[in-house]
Amino acid sequence: MNTFLSRLNTLFAFSISVVAAVTFACFLTTHFLDYTQDVEIEVKKAIVKNMEEFYVGEKHDLGHIRFSLKANMTPVFNWNCKELFLYLMAEYETPRNKINQVVLWDKIINRGENAVLDLKKVHAKYYFFDDGSDLRGKNITLSLHWNVIPNAGYLWRVKGRQDLGYTLPDSYAGSRV
């Protein structure tokens, strides 16, 4: 004797199972795709200043760059990709810290938006402070990374195929970027 509520419960449980199976199939169809893309990064201008951090009372190096960036992110978008979170990262080494990674710029691209980046002479969105005076003449590596935000499945963290090695100026700047 199946009551109406018992049958409704069975139908609901079956529907949830079907939705879970379809979601898993959605994840599997895009899990093995290659999300890497070619990227062109060019530094137009870079400065290093020695600035006082007011809350500490010490002087530390501050770096700022202006850059150009070309990348076509259109192939990354598929039916399971909701949006991309892109960020330009600088990586360098100092005597105090073996690895320093600083995000200089970021952007969110939603599905349906123009995913071709052709940025020219863009100021970095964020400055990067060093916790000492070690930025002058420092070699940095700039690379574009992105997170693929899916509708279902794994959140991918991807790095562009090309990096840019760049040496910061040897002297402190007195001018603006």
Task: Identify whether 9 is part of a domain.
Answer: yes
Residue 27 sits in the same domain as residue 91:
no
DSSP3 helix / strand / coil % (the chain, rounded to 5): 20, 50, 35
Residue 17 sits in the same domain as residue 49:
no
The domain that contains 159 carries what CATH number?
A: 2.60.40
Residue 68 sits in the same domain as residue 22:
no
Residue 5 sits in the same domain as residue 52:
no
Please name every residue paired with 157 in a beta bridge, in sequence order, or none if there are none. 147
pLDDT at res. 1 = 56
Residue 88 sits in the same domain as residue 3:
no
**Mean pLDDT of residues grouped by 10 in the chain (177 residues)?**
85 93 85 87 87 76 89 89 93 86 93 89 87 82 93 88 86 69
- Judge contact between 42 and 144, C-beta under 8 A: no
Residue 96 sits in the same domain as residue 26:
no
pLDDT at res. 16 = 94
pLDDT at res. 97 = 82
Domain that holds residue 5: 1-32
Residue 156 sits in the same domain as residue 73:
yes
- Judge contact between 77 and 131, C-beta under 8 A: no
Residue 13 sits in the same domain as residue 48:
no
Contact residues for 173 (Cβ-Cβ < 8 A; gap 6+): 47, 48, 49
pLDDT at res. 172 = 81
